[in-house]
Amino acid sequence: MAKINLDILRGSGKPDEKIYSDLKLDLAIGIIKRDELLSGKQRVDVESDDNLGAIRNSIISIITTSPGEKILNPTFGLNFGDLLFLPVSKIRATNIGETIVNGIQKFEPRIRIINLDVEADIENQEYNINIIYSVPRFANQKLNLSGSIKKSDFTFFN
pLDDT in tens, 96-111: 999 999 999 999 999 9
> What would the mean pLDDT of 8-27 be, rounded to a whole number?
59
Q: How far is CA 55 from CA 50, 104, 151, in A?
A: 8, 11, 25
Q: Which residue has the higher pLDDT, 128 or 24?
A: 128
pLDDT confidence bin for 12, thresholds 50/70/90:
very low
Distance of CA 116 to the CA centre of its chain: 16
How many Cβ atoms are within 10 Å of 149's Cβ, its own excluded?
23
Q: Model pTM?
A: 0.74
Q: How far apart are CA 1 and CA 95, in angstroms?
A: 48
pLDDT confidence bin for 29, thresholds 50/70/90:
low
pLDDT for 157: 83
Residue 74 has pLDDT above 50, yes or no: yes
pLDDT for 11: 47
* 52-158, CATH topology level: Nuclear Transport Factor 2; Chain: A, (3.10.450)
Q: Which residue has the higher pLDDT, 66 or 32?
A: 66
Domain ranges of the chain: 1-50, 52-158
Residue 142 has pLDDT above 60, yes or no: yes
Handedness of CA 119, 120, 121, 125 (dihedral sign): positive
